[in-house]
Amino acid sequence: MFRKIETLEEARARNVEDALREDVGTGGITESFINTQKIEARIISRDSAVLCGLDWCNECFKRINSEVKVDFLKSDGDLIKENEIICTIYGDGKSILEAERSALNFLQLLSATATTTKKYLRALKQVKVGNPYCCIYDTRKTQPGLRLAQKYAVRIGGGENQRLGLWDHMLFKENHLKCLGGIVGLKSKMQDFHKTNGRKLIITSDIQVEVESIRELKLALSMGIKNILLDNFSINMLIQAVSISKKKAVLEVSGGVNLKSLASIAKTGVERISIGNLTKDVSAVDFTMLIKNDS
């Protein structure tokens, strides 16, 4: 459908352009009253958080006026406290005020995503003794247009990316399987591939199948599927699944995962836990920009 997949840098440029287009538009009306005087401003945190989004913040100011200078005192991934200075901004007052809101919006969302991820990592660390190989993964449940930005924030928070989109990983979910006639239908399609192409479909960890029952799990394992998504399994079902799998497939849990249930899920021995809340239910981290009085 699209000939080229965006890099993170390309996505960031698009993100900033979109944000400024919707907020600044043809130019700030109120900001037009501001003279071309030089000012100094600071972005300050109002919450404790994992900082993320500095490149998006910087680009907002640079896109409005390339002569605006932003000096960062922190880096992405830093643990920040309330009332810490994140950066100092120097330059044309009108330009700085026009970029302010967009810059803060990126910081509040991406820092929130990184912070939420870190909370889950800390909770997981408490049970790592029983399951040292379990990792936290994100999902595709991201804010529209900000997929790569939030995926980046998850990595900054210590998590792993599940898949970037439909194009880089094959995952047969419930609706795909319904269209194919279930897992049995998927098996038939794989056999058809063999007949049509004269060779077997090589099943790697890049092919993942979602299952909703122990019966479906056994079917997937019998097909040689090496990456299986366990959808809304109870703890008892997860224990059974780990026992049945015997490390023949990577088992990933999805659905019903929160900070309270995380430990119980990890203790079952699954290798991966994917959590939609990392990107879709985040609580924004508060930042503010203040102009120095003597500017």
Q: What is the CATH number of domain 122-280?
A: 3.20.20.70
pLDDT given at position 35: 77
**Positions of E strands within the chain:** 38-45, 49-50, 69-72, 79-80, 85-92, 135-137, 170-172, 207-211, 227-231, 250-254, 272-274, 287-291
Instruction: Please give the Cα distance from 17 to 4 (Å, whole number).
Output: 19
**Positions of E strands within 181-236:** 207-211, 227-231
Q: Look at residue 222 and tell me whether its pLDDT is greater than 80.
A: yes
Q: What is the CATH number of domain 8-113+283-291?
A: 3.90.1170.20
**How large is the C-alpha radius of gyration of the chain?**
23
Cβ(97)–Cβ(114) below 8 Å: no
Greater model confidence, 168 or 198? 168
pLDDT given at position 68: 98
Model confidence, pTM: 0.92
Mean pLDDT (whole number) for 253-279: 95
Q: What are the tens digits of pLDDT across the range 62-99?
A: 999 999 999 999 999 999 999 999 999 999 999 999 99
Cβ(113)–Cβ(161) below 8 Å: no
Q: Is 97 helix (H, G, I), strand (E, B) or coil?
A: helix
pLDDT given at position 7: 96
Domain boundaries defined on the chain: 8-113+283-291, 122-280
Greater model confidence, 123 or 294? 123
Instruction: Please give the Cα distance from 94 to 19 (Å, whole number).
Output: 17
Q: Look at residue 198 and tell me whether its pLDDT is greater than 80.
A: no
Q: Is 266 exposed, middle or buried (0-12, 13-18, 19+ CB in 10 A)?
A: buried
User: What share of the chain has pLDDT > 90, as a percent?
Assistant: 78
pLDDT given at position 295: 55
Q: Look at residue 202 and tell me whether its pLDDT is greater than 80.
A: no
pLDDT given at position 132: 78
pLDDT given at position 129: 59
Quote the DSSP letter at residue 72: E
Q: Look at residue 283 and tell me whether its pLDDT is greater than 90.
A: yes
